[in-house]
Amino acid sequence: MASSTDVVAGTNATAVEYNNLRKDVVLGLNVAGTDADAATVTIDLSDKTKGKIRTITLGGNRTLAISNGTVGQAFMLRLVQDGTGGRTVTWFTTIKWPGGVAPTLTTDINKADVFGFIITSADNYDGFIVGQSL
């Protein structure tokens, strides 16, 4: 991601891109948002209004999908068990997890797990466990 010294409105970025970066980095705005629960939850990474940390409360076993990501982009997913708990996810394609094994979600009622991702190439991700059973 570009730093505030890398992005100059009108030079190598649009004024909108510059202002979004300023809001994210300087003002701490547009950092976190929520994606709606559905059988397949598609996280649209081009939707800057939802930020880079997305929360999804799982109302059932879900399939996760990513759209409109760019190589080098980083984002986080905060997956929260609903009042029933025991929910699972089917991850989006081609994630390299530490040790080569996808993590098991915490299944306790109302507990959250947080995962970080870096897009390494088209539809390829490095995945990281940030915290579990929060």
pLDDT by residue (tens digit) across 64-73? 999 999 999 9
pTM above 0.85, yes or no: no
Query: In the predicted model, is pLDDT for residue 29 greater than 70?
Result: no
Residue-by-residue DSSP string for 55-99: EEEESSSEEEEEES--TT-EEEEEEEE-SS----EEPPS-EE-GG
In angstroms, rounded to a whole number, what is the distance separating the alpha carbons of residues 22 and 106? Answer: 35
Pairing of strands 62-67, 40-44: parallel
Question: Quick one: CA dihedral 80, 87, 50, 91, positive or negative?
Answer: positive
